[in-house]
Amino acid sequence: MSQNASTSQLTSWQEGWLNWLRAERNYADHTLDGYARDVEIYLSFLHANGGTYTPPDRHDFRAFLASQQADDLGHATLARRVSAVRNFYRFGVRNGYLGDTDISWMKPPKRPHVIPKDLPQTDIKDILRIIETSGQPEWQQKRDIGFLMLLYGCGLRLSEALSLTAADIPLSNWLQITGKGGKTRDVPVLKAVADAVEDAAKACPFQPEGGESFWRSNRGGPLNARAVQRMVEAIRLKLGLPAHVTPHTLRHAFATHLLAGGGDLRAIQQLLGHASLSTTQRYTHVDSDQLLNVHKQTHPRAK
């Protein structure tokens, strides 16, 4: 096969794969961008190191993993990168871009057992309180409070909270969320959350309509993830909170506080939109004192 033909086939393969993920798997744009970038990084590594993309080679793959770990790539990012590459090759096998090839060995290194960091309720109260004294325009204060209340009160991912549209306002008792892989779930909305979001809507000088993004930036355009991350980072620095505190920490706090209060693990799994219960078990670690407390209060033999 000539170099031009090989390049043409690879381009067709990549485009077909991304179109399939978009049309058949309903992947969000940011997920598609990440997957495309991950596969491009892998292919670039092969090209730079004399490897071949077809058929896939175990030694090349292991060398790639070693290079990524040498760059101090986080385990979650590396696992996603391997998932993208494996998905790419599976599509290639199914659609005739390479023969019947075993790719079951394409696995990331084992995940180290890391307990997610918790955020005490007192810190969450401090975060909301400091927004009220930030000195920024009132509508921006109400927007930031409403947004963070949505993350913590409903356990949403950052992208899920940003996907709220003007048509979703005012919030009802339940909010339908489209999560990873296009899967939908219904999340209960606390009155305090609905009220905070409603306050943000009334105070906002910009009035989006219908399917337009509800959350507005300081200049009136759709609010983006980086702006929220910067906002939380600024608050974290002001309060002297640990470096692990990010918008996602509020979703984790939602889960840990529910579990600490005696919440059912499978119910929390559904609220978070986790496909696997093991993910929820890792995600909702609470300290042993809290678990012992709940056990004493709820177990029939403890009464």
Amino acid letter for position 125: K
Tell me the catalytic residues.
Answer: 157, 180, 248, 251, 274, 283
CA-angle at 288, arms to 233 and 129, nearest 5°: 30
The number of angstroms, rounded, from the C-alpha of 15 to the middle of its chain's C-alpha atoms is 25
What is the reported pLDDT for 151? 94
Q: What is the CATH number of domain 3-94?
A: 1.10.150.130
Of 98, 101, 82, nearest to 12 (Cα)? Answer: 98
Looking at residue 211, what DSSP letter applies?
A: T
The size of the chain, in residues, is 303
Tens place of pLDDT per residue across the chain (303 aa): 333 337 788 899 999 999 999 998 888 888 899 999 999 999 999 989 888 888 888 999 999 998 988 877 777 888 899 999 999 999 999 998 888 888 889 988 776 666 666 788 899 999 999 999 989 999 999 999 999 999 998 989 999 999 999 999 999 999 998 887 788 888 899 999 999 999 999 999 999 999 999 999 999 999 999 999 999 999 999 999 988 899 999 988 888 888 777 777 778 777 887 766 666 666 555 444 454 554 555 545 544
Domain range list for the chain: 3-94, 121-298
Dihedral over Cα of 210, 171, 216, 184: its sign: negative
DSSP state of 302: G
Burial of 93 (0-12, 13-18, 19+ CB in 10 A): middle
Count of CB atoms situated within 10 Å of the CB of 75: 14
Query: What pLDDT sits at residue 262?
Result: 77
* Separation of alpha carbons 178 and 130, rounded Å: 31
Crossing angle of helices 138-154 and 225-239, in 10° steps, is 90
Taking a C-beta distance cutoff of 8 angstroms, is the pair 68, 47 a contact?
no
User: CA separation (Å) from 95 to 12, 84, 164, 210?
Assistant: 11, 17, 37, 40
Residue type, 229: Q
> What class does CATH assign to 121-298?
mainly alpha
The kind and range of the H/E element at 188 are strand 184-188
Separation of alpha carbons 82 and 77, rounded Å: 9
Q: Residue 296 corresponds to which tokens in the numbers above?
A: 């004493």
Structure-token pair, residue 70: 């040498």
List, for residues 230-260, the tens digit of each pLDDT value.
Answer: 999 999 999 999 888 999 999 888 888 887 7
What is the C-alpha separation between 298 and 303, in angstroms, rounded? 8
Q: State pLDDT tens for residues 21-35.
A: 999 888 888 889 999
Residue 96 region, left (φ>0) first, then alpha (ψ -120 to 50), else beta?
left
CA angle in degrees (0–180, nearest 5) for 192-214-283: 60
3-state secondary structure of 118: coil
Smallest Cα–Cα separation from 142: which of 192, 190, 189, 203? Answer: 203
Residue 187 burial (C-beta neighbours within 10 Å; 0-12, 13-18, 19+): buried
